[in-house]
Structure 1
Amino acid sequence: MEDCGALFATERYGSGESWHYVAKDGAMESRRDGREDESRGNSFGGLFKSVFLPQGYPESVSGDYLQYQFWDTVQAFSSSLSGTLATQASLRGVGVGKQEATVAAATVTWLLRDGTGMLGRIVFAWLKGNKLDSEAKKWRLFADILNDFAMFMEILAPFFPAWFTLIACTSGLFKAVVGVAGGATRAALTAHQARRDNMADISAKDGSQETLVNLAGLLVSLILIPLVTDNPALTISLFFLFTALHLFANYKAVRSVVMETLNEERLSIALRRFLHDGRVLTPMEANRQEPVFLEFRKTLPIKLGVRLQEVVQSPEEFRLALMRKGAPFLLGITNGCVRVCLAAHARTRDEIRATCQAIWLSDVLSPRRQHGLSEMVHKSYKLMDTEFDAFHKGLEAAGWDVTRTLLDWDEWRLEWKPKIR
C-alpha cells in the first residue's frame, strides 16, 4: 500500500479552498482537498469571483449580499437601457440633427439644467441628509422611482419645445436628488454588508459589477438606437417595459436586505409584537414587515434629541419631570408631537428605551387628543419599567445589534443639577 505521508497542517482560503500538508520521505507535500485538477469552467469561475466579488466572499459579507446584488444588477441593466432612451430624447430636444439649432442655445440649456441640479443637490442634502441612514431602504427605493420619473420627463420633453428648458431643468433637479439619495443609501447598505470592516473592497467590487452591467447595457443600446430613432411609440413602449423591470428589481432588492440594527420602523414592529404576545421578532421577521415606501404618518410624529425648552416650559415642570421619572431622558408631548430630551450620559440602551416609550405614546394617542397627556406619559414610564428589561434581553437573544442604532437622534444633550431651587 502506497505511503500517503503524515498530515501535519491544513489551511483554508475562506470556504473556497482547502489544502493539506503532509510529510513524506523527509519532504513537505501540499495536496488540495477534493479533486486535484480544476476544470476550465471552475478556473474561470474562480477568476470571475475574485474580480467581481469581495475578498473572502461569502464569509466577508452579510447573508443577504448575493440576493441584493442580483436584483441590483437587474435594476442597473434596465436603468441603463432607459437612460439611453432618455439621453437620445434630450439630444433631440436641444436640436441635435436640426440645421436651425445653435450650439449656444444647446449649451445654455445644458448649463441651466446642470446648475439647477447642483443647487438641488445642496438643498436636499441639507434637508434630508440625516434621514438617509435611518431610512436607507425607503430613500433607496424613492431615489429609483424619482429617477425613472425624471427620465420619463426627458423622453416627453421634445414634444413640448416651448417648455423644453423648464422640463430639462426639473429633470436635472430630480436627478440631483437621486444622486444624493442613491449614493448615500448605497453607502449605508455597504456598511451593513461589510462584515470585516471591508467597506472599501465591497464598494470597489460593486463598482466593477455596475461597470460590467453598464457595458452590457451599452451593447444592447447599440442595437436599440437604430430601432427607436424617429419612432416615438416604440421609444415610449420600451421605456415603460424597462421601467417596470427596473422598479420591480429595486423593490425586490430593498426587500432582500436584512438589517440587524434598529431604526424607528424596525423597533416599532418588534415592540408592538412583544407587547402583544411577549415574543421578540428576529431581524429577518421584522425586516420583512418593514415598509419600504415613504408614507405619511397617521400617528403622532416623534422627535428625538430635542432641546429642553421643547419638552418643559418652566423650572417647576422640569422639577416635577425629574421627580416622576428618574431616567436619563425627559419625554413630553407638545404641539402634537412626542419629543424626547436626552441626557449627556445616556447610553445606547437608554436611547432604545426612550424611543420605545415615544413609539408607544405615538401609537396610543390620537394626533387631536389634547387632554390627559401627562397621565399617558407617566403610564409610558411605568410600562417600560415593567417590560423594557425583558424586551431588551429578547432583542439581544433574537440577533439584533443593540450596541448601536440607526435611530434618528438629533445632537442636543442635556446636563442637569441634582437639585433645583
Structure 2
Amino acid sequence: MLVQVIRESTGRFATIAFAHLFGTSIEAECKAWRLAADVLCDVAMVLDCLSPFFPHGVRFLVLCFSSLLYSASGVAGNASKSSLSGHFAKWNNLGELNAVSDGDVALKRSLSSCFESIQQKDASQETAISLIGMISGTFVVSLLTDQRATWATLIFLLALHLFLNWKGVRAVKSRSLNRQRANIAFSALFSKGQVLTPHHVAERERIFERRGGEVFRWNSGAVLGHCKYGVSLQSLLEALASGGGGGRERCFRLATVDLSTLLRRFEKEEYVLWCVVSERTSYDAASRVRVMVVLKDGVSPKSQLKAWFHGLLLARRLSGQREDDLAQAGLDQLVMLHHIEASLEIASEKYEEYARRLCFAGWNLDVSVLETRSGSRIVREPDATEALRVHAEERTI
C-alpha cells in the first residue's frame, strides 16, 4: 500500500513539474511531443514488465520512475492531441474561440460546434479502437505459452505502435509556422523564390529537431546558429555588457553598443534583436552563433514571425563570413550592429511580400507558435528618462 501511495504521489508531482517546465512548448512542437509521449509510455510499460526481475529496493525505484514517465506521457499526449485537433478543424487553433468577439455569436457557435464534433468523433474512435484492442489482446494472450514468446510479442507490438504513430505524425500537415517550418519556408522563398505549401514543408520537416527546434537552418541544410526567442530584457543587457568574446578575448573588445542605441534601431519594429558570437571552441555552429529576440508589449503574430525571419537572415549572413571577420563581429559590437542593420533592411524589404505569398499558399500567419517558454515583454515608458518596464507574461496552452 505504501509503495502504491508513493508511486501515485511521484506521478502527480511529475505531472505538475512537467506541465510547468514544458507545457508552453507543446503547441509549437506538437508533432515531436505527440511521438515523444508514445515513446515515454512504451518505456514505462517495459519498465513495469521488467520490475519483477529487480531486487526489492531497486524495484521500488523502477516503479516510481515508470510512474513518472506515465505522467509525463499523459501531459504531453493530451496537450499535443488538443493542438492536433485544432489542426483538423481547419480553423486557426483551439484558442480561436477566445479571439472571436462577443458580437460574432453565430461564428462562435459554428466554431464551437466544429470542435465539439471533432471531439465526439475522436472519442468514438478511441472507444472503438480500445474495444478492438481488448478483444485482440485476449486472443493473443491465449496463444502465448512461454516467456520468450511473450517478450517477442511485446517488443514487436511496441515497435509497431511507434512506427504507426510516427507515420501518423508525419502525415500531419500543419498550417501554422513554428520555428522549423519557418526556416524551411523562408529559406526556400529567399533563395529560390519558391513558395512551399504546408504539404511540401511537412515532407521536409524533422519530427525531432536539435535544441528543441530553436536552431536556424537554411534549406534544411547545416545548422547556422540558434535563437533564444522571447528572452527577458535582463538577458539582453547581460549580452550587451559581456560582448561576444569570452575569456581572454574580452580584454580586446573594441566597441560596445548600449541599449538606447539598439532601441533606436528597432524603434519601428515590435521586437529587439541582438546576436552573440562565442569563441571557436568547437565546430558546432548551433552553439557558436546565438541570436536573442526580445519582444515588445502588444507584438502581433506577424511581427513575431518577422523577428524569426530577421534572425534567420542574420545567421545566414554570419555563416558566410570568413573566420577572421566572424571573430571581429564577435568582439566589435559596432560590426555586429552593422550586420543586424543590414539583415533588418532586407527583412523589412522582403517580409510583407513573403507573408502575402505564404498566406496565399495556405499558411496561417495569424497564429504564433514560435515561443516555447513563458516569455517577457518590454514596455517603453513615455517619460523623459525613457525608462523600460519589463513584465512577465505567462503563456497557456
1:120 aligns with 2:14: yes
For the Cα contact (< 8 Å) 1:360–1:380, is it kept in 2?
yes
1:282 aligns with 2:197: yes
1:158 aligns with 2:52: yes
Separation in structure 2 between the aligned mates of residue 246 and residue 395 of structure 1, nearest angstrom:
35
1:342 aligns with 2:295: yes
Indicate the SS of the match to 2:68.
Answer: helix
The aligned counterpart of 1:324 is 265
The aligned counterpart of 1:302 is 227
Separation in structure 2 between the aligned mates of residue 152 and residue 178 of structure 1, nearest angstrom:
14
For the Cα contact (< 8 Å) 2:175–2:362, is it kept in 1?
yes
For the Cα contact (< 8 Å) 2:294–2:378, is it kept in 1?
yes
Partner AA of 1:169 in structure 2:
C
Separation in structure 1 between the aligned mates of residue 50 and residue 274 of structure 2, nearest angstrom:
50
1:218 aligns with 2:134: yes
Unaligned runs of 5+ in 2: 91-109, 216-222, 242-255, 279-288, 320-325, 387-397
The aligned counterpart of 1:386 is 349
For the Cα contact (< 8 Å) 1:142–1:293, is it kept in 2?
no
1:250 aligns with 2:175: no
For the Cα contact (< 8 Å) 2:270–2:295, is it kept in 1?
yes
Unaligned runs of 5+ in 1: 1-106
Measured against aligned partners, the alpha-carbon deviations of 1:192-236 in whole angstroms (never above 9, x if no partner) come to: 11245222221222111111111111112222334436x221111
Separation in structure 2 between the aligned mates of residue 382 and residue 143 of structure 1, nearest angstrom:
42
Classify 1:295/1:324 alpha carbon distance in 2 versus 1 (closer, same or farther; 3 Å).
closer
Indicate the SS of the match to 1:402.
Answer: coil
Superposed CA RMSD: 2.6
Q: Could you tell me how far 1:122 is from its partner in structure 2?
A: 0.8
Indicate the SS of the match to 2:370.
Answer: coil
Measured against aligned partners, the alpha-carbon deviations of 1:311-342 in whole angstroms (never above 9, x if no partner) come to: 24589723212333332221112586322122
Separation in structure 2 between the aligned mates of residue 390 and residue 242 of structure 1, nearest angstrom:
49
Tell me which moved more, 200-209 or 257-266.
200-209
Indicate the SS of the match to 2:365.
Answer: strand
Partner AA of 2:357 in structure 1:
G
Separation in structure 2 between the aligned mates of residue 299 and residue 175 of structure 1, nearest angstrom:
36
Indicate the SS of the match to 1:241.
Answer: helix
The aligned counterpart of 1:60 is none
Partner AA of 2:128 in structure 1:
L
Indicate the SS of the match to 1:281.
Answer: coil
Task: Report the structure number with the largest CA radius of gyration.
Answer: 1
Separation in structure 2 between the aligned mates of residue 219 and residue 345 of structure 1, nearest angstrom:
54
Task: Output the TM-score relative to the length of structure 2.
Answer: 0.72
The aligned counterpart of 1:413 is 377
The aligned counterpart of 2:102 is none
What count of residue pairs does the alignment treat as equivalent?
A: 314
Partner AA of 1:182 in structure 2:
G
Q: Could you tell me how far 1:286 is from its partner in structure 2?
A: 1.0
Separation in structure 2 between the aligned mates of residue 174 and residue 363 of structure 1, nearest angstrom:
39
Separation in structure 1 between the aligned mates of residue 143 and residue 54 of structure 2, nearest angstrom:
23
Classify 1:129/1:363 alpha carbon distance in 2 versus 1 (closer, same or farther; 3 Å).
farther
Classify 1:391/1:122 alpha carbon distance in 2 versus 1 (closer, same or farther; 3 Å).
same
1:237 aligns with 2:152: yes
Q: Say which of 9, 25, 32 aligns to 1:138.
A: 32
Q: Could you tell me how far 1:413 is from its partner in structure 2?
A: 2.2
The aligned counterpart of 1:397 is 360
Separation in structure 2 between the aligned mates of residue 420 and residue 390 of structure 1, nearest angstrom:
37
The aligned counterpart of 2:82 is 187
Separation in structure 2 between the aligned mates of residue 154 and residue 232 of structure 1, nearest angstrom:
15
Separation in structure 2 between the aligned mates of residue 152 and residue 175 of structure 1, nearest angstrom:
11
